[in-house]
């Protein structure tokens, strides 16, 4: 056997391997999201149902501690606003920090991006959601996704008393096309009476000259966190920001490509707090979590995902929720990267 006759088959194997690898990669890239069905979602949900045992329901807001750790729901709003739901689809929970993206949209619409981000940063973080040492060092919150920046964002929305909160509530109702959505007064009262750390941040920012109003503004933040909705509502919110602020039914009253880009960039860099970097590596999509157990995900230009499971991991993100998102992303190659 000469050298050539030995090399030829090896070459052929290499070419064949390259071609088949290409086919696999191409197949992944073109995974058809219109193939997503309720069955797809329920298979993923059942596979991940028990992840709640690895997390813990938030109880630092006492009323949240009463949530049923076993509740779980998974929703997608896909092409042309088509809705798929599985699990405890009617189960309501409080949106908590997911409300921060709605407040940011309103504050930036009213004040302009430059004004809002003159008072806080575009920074990512290696710190939990309630971290605030930046208020002492640089004098400003790191970003609008962590509590300090979010409390400040809500205080920037114009109007006396409850008005800024009502704007947030009305925008959530608009995006979800669900006028029955309201806030849970028990959760609100519970956070208002125990949220001393948030109150501390509020006064530090008042001391720094970033906040000029009274405690009504903090109450608006507590109220927005207490807005109750379902996983389907979250999927509609994810869809809205994924599609230039166009609603799932095609209504384009708020269409704004730039604003949707800004919100999604903040979701990507800080929406999952200190887990955001690892999450960008594994899921690779703009997402926002809340300690009520919800996560809203935007698949840019394509779809919205909403998950709910109240047991949280050490970062304050839904444990089972994360794994459901991860499986859907892998199955349909949804990561941006």
Known binding-site residues for substrate equal 97, 147, 191, 198, 221, 273, 291
Structure tokens at 49: 């149902």
Write out the E strands in 67-118. Answer: 73-77, 83-87, 93-94
Tokens of 243: 């599609």
Instruction: Fill in the per-residue mask, 80 to 119: x = in contact with ligand GLN (CB under 6 A), - = not in contact.
Output: ----------------xx----------------------
SS3 content of the chain, % helix, strand, coil (to 5): 55, 10, 35
State the distance between the two ends of the chain, measured CA to CA, in whole angstroms: 46
Q: Does 125 bind ligand GLN (CB under 6 A)?
A: no
Residue 273 is a catalytic residue: yes
Nearer to ligand GLN, 86 or 190 (CB): 190
- 221: annotated active-site residue: yes
Check: CB of residue 103 under 8 Å from CB of residue 151.
Answer: no
The nearest distance, CB 272 to ligand GLN, in angstroms, is 10
147 touches ligand GLN by CB under 6 A: yes
Work out whether 75 is an interface residue with ligand GLN (CB under 6 A). no
Tell me the C-alpha distance between 15 and 336, whole Å.
Answer: 29
Task: Take residue 22 and report the two structure tokens written for it.
Answer: 């290409």
The residue with its CB nearest to ligand GLN is: 97
Q: Cβ of residue 74: shortest distance to ligand GLN, in angstroms?
A: 19
Q: Please say which residue, 225 or 268, places its beta carbon nearer to ligand GLN.
A: 225
Residues, the chain: 337
Nearer to ligand GLN, 95 or 303 (CB): 95
What is the C-alpha separation between 21 and 275, in angstroms, rounded?
Answer: 32
User: Which residues are CB-neighbours of 273 under 8 A, at least 6 positions away?
Assistant: 125, 127, 128, 129, 145, 146, 289, 315, 316, 317
Binding of residue 327 to ligand GLN (CB under 6 A): no
The closest of 311, 292, 304, 312 to 328, measured between CA atoms, is 304
CB of 75 to ligand GLN, least distance (A): 19
Q: Is 97 a catalytic residue?
A: yes
Angle CA(172)–CA(195)–CA(165) in degrees, nearest 5?
25
> Is residue 143 close enough to count as binding ligand GLN by CB under 6 A?
no
Q: From 329, 171, 332, select the one nearest 247 (Cα to Cα).
A: 171
If binding means CB under 6 A, how many residues of this protein chain bind ligand GLN?
A: 11
Is residue 26 part of the annotated active site? The answer reads no
Q: Closest CB to ligand GLN among 131 and 236? A: 131
CA 83 to chain centre: 18
Given the residues 51, 188, 221, 322, the one annotated as active site: 221
Would you count residue 190 as binding ligand GLN (CB under 6 A)?
A: no
CB 58 to ligand GLN: min, Å: 8
Between 147 and 266, whose beta carbon lies closer to ligand GLN?
A: 147
Q: Which residues bind ligand GLN (CB under 6 A)?
A: 96-97, 129-130, 147, 191, 198, 225, 290-291, 316
| Residues noted as catalytic | 97, 100, 221, 273, 291
């Amino acid at each position: 056997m000469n050298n050539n006759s030995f090399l030829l088959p090896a070459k052929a194997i290499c070419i064949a391997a390259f071609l088949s690898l290409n086919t696999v990669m191409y197949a992944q890239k073109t995974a058809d999201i219109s193939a997503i069905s309720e069955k797809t979602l329920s298979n993923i949900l059942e596979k991940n149902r028990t992840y709640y045992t690895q997390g813990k329901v938030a109880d630092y807001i006492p009323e949240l501690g009463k949530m049923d750790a076993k509740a779980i729901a998974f929703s997608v709003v896909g092409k042309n606003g088509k809705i798929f739901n599985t699990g405890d689809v009617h189960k309501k929970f409080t949106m908590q920090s997911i409300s921060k993206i709605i407040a940011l949209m309103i504050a930036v619409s009213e004040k302009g991006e430059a004004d809002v981000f003159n008072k806080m940063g575009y920074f990512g973080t290696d710190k939990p959601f309630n971290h605030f040492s930046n208020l002492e060092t640089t004098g400003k919150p790191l970003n609008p996704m962590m509590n300090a920046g979010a409390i400040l964002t809500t205080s920037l929305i114009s109007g006396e008393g409850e008005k800024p909160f009502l704007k947030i509530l009305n925008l959530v109702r608009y995006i979800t096309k669900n006028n029955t959505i309201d806030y849970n007064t028990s959760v609100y009262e519970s956070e208002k009476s125990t949220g001393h750390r948030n109150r501390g941040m509020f006064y530090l920012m008042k001391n720094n000259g970033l906040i000029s109003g009274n405690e009504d503004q903090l109450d608006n933040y507590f109220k927005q966190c207490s807005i109750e909705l379902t996983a389907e509502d979250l999927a509609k919110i994810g869809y809205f920001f994924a599609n230039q602020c166009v609603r799932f039914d095609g209504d384009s009253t708020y269409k704004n490509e730039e604003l949707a880009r800004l919100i999604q960039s903040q979701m990507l860099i800080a929406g999952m707090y200190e887990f955001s970097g690892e999450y960008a590596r594994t899921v690779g999509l703009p997402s926002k979590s809340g300690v009520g157990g919800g996560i809203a995900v935007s698949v840019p230009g394509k779809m919205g995902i909403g998950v709910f499971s109240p047991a949280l991991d050490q970062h304050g993100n839904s444990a089972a929720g994360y794994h459901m998102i991860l499986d859907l992303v892998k199955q349909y190659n949804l990561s941006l990267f």
